[in-house]
Homo-oligomer: A and B are copies of this chain.
Amino acid sequence: MASPQLTTSPSQPARPRVVIVGAGFGGLAAVRALAKAPVEVLLINRTNYHGFWPLLYQVATAGLEPESIAYPVRAILRRYRNASFLLAEVTGVDFARRLVQTSAGPVSYDYLILAAGSTTNFFGNDQIARYTMGMKDLNEAQRLRNHVLLCCEHAAAESDPIRRAALLTFAVVGGGPTGVELAGAFVELIRHVIRHDYPMLDVQQARVVLIEATSHILASFPASLQRAALQRLQQMGVEVRLNTPVAGADPHGLSFRDGSRLDAETVVWAAGVRGAPLADALGVALGRGARVVVTPELTLPDDRRVFVIGDMAYLEGYRPGVAYPMVAPVAIQMGEQAARNIIAQINDQPMQPFRYVDKGQMATIGRSAAVLDAFGIRLSGWPAWAGWLFVHLMALVGFRNRALVLLNWAYSYFTYDRGVRLIFGVGAEEQTVAEAVLRD
């Protein structure tokens, strides 16, 4: 497994090597910002594609095929002469010997940018981790899609009304943007697709329940937009349960702190994210959400050659006592700043602290409905939705992906149909109807 590219040759290469872990928004921004720098860049990622996670919920609800929100990393790197790629899982870092431990062997670095992102936070509750579904990558989204469609198939063949109701109850825990977007998408799936595909089912039985522990959804948005979003969700028929902390989960539903329970065969856990497992493996100080504490220059406090950015980094200063949120714009700007600070170190110039230019935030609720809060502008309804469509379409990497997504959106908008309602791939094999029947 020893290749010239990977071995630590006694004589270091002429140009310093910058190893970037993670091909998300942050990692790719760093690659871009280092394109003209006198460095050799090695990007390491566990998959061979960049995932456009803001649209992941549409994959999970049969609106987009997984391929349309994934873009091959090597296709992106073609543009950068000084960058190469390694498909591998990073398991740890040997800071003393400047080695990244990977599933493909050790990789040496002169400068390191850790941008491994985040994972679902089950807050240490094994029950919830086992019996609810996360939605953080393509596999989880496809598994969710297959599960939801399979529940409908089972419901169509189920004579017991109690079981049928549970099969048609889609619960989403967490009133953040992901939870809100997912709940809205489930309603549209039921209204426009399931109703036509399963004429024998009474879709009035189908329920979408959005569960939030606090007193309001979209915590990071202004109150006026929180109210607008809540109103819209309720108009769409989503049962929004505020102030309802979850106590536990089991194979057939959720139990709440107030002692009540909800029978639901589909429970999505969108109630929290935390730093990627790699953060725990580093053996450094972690802040809230298992994110790595970094200096304003985005380095480890005691190793200025190691930068941590994006969801993985814990840095306060956004608002007093509040860390920068886990969103793409923060990751992108941190990636650019980390790159600039590496160049500064090479040129023996002082590093600059990270300054965030807030691009605002938005969340879509459903057909022609969204909330947008940017540059002092606060929009809801159709204009916000149009803005959301435009921004996300433009942000997608690659003409082909843009065209695919646009095609799917146009198709769904005008036909009210969802093209990708296929039970296939991850989660489809291990969960056949046969097994499901035996399970019951």
The tally of residues in A whose CB lies under 8 Å from a CB in B reads 65
Q: Which of B3, B87, B422 is close to A67, meaning CB atoms less than 8 Å apart?
A: B422
Asked if A327 lies at the interface with its beta carbon under 8 angstroms from chain B, I say: no
Q: Mark A406-434, 1 if CB is under 8 A from B, else 0.
A: 01100100000101111111100100111
* Copies of this protein, total: 2
In the complex the two chains form, is A159's CB within 8 Å of B2's CB?
A: yes
Residue of B nearest to A65 (CB): B67
Q: Mark A147-176, 1 if CB is under 8 A from B, else 0.
A: 001100100111100000000000000000
In the complex the two chains form, is B423's CB within 8 Å of A197's CB?
A: no
In the complex the two chains form, is A429's CB within 8 Å of B426's CB?
A: yes
Q: How far, in angstroms, from A156 to B2 measured CA to CA in the complex?
A: 11
In the complex the two chains form, is A105's CB within 8 Å of B3's CB?
A: no
Q: How far, in angstroms, from A1 to B400 measured CA to CA in the complex?
A: 44
In the complex the two chains form, is A425's CB within 8 Å of B66's CB?
A: yes
Q: Mark A89-126, 1 if CB is under 8 A from B, else 0.
A: 10000000000000111000000000000000000000
In the complex the two chains form, is A67's CB within 8 Å of B419's CB?
A: yes
Q: Which of B403, B420, B421, B434 is close to A103, meaning CB atoms less than 8 Å apart?
A: B434
| Residues in B whose Cβ lies below 8 Å from that of A139 | 424-425, 429
Residue ranges of A at the interface with B (Cβ–Cβ < 8 Å): 1-6, 46-49, 65-68, 70, 72, 74-75, 78, 84, 86-89, 103-105, 138-139, 142, 149-150, 153, 156-159, 196-198, 200, 398-401, 403-404, 407-408, 411, 417, 419-426, 429, 432-434, 437, 440
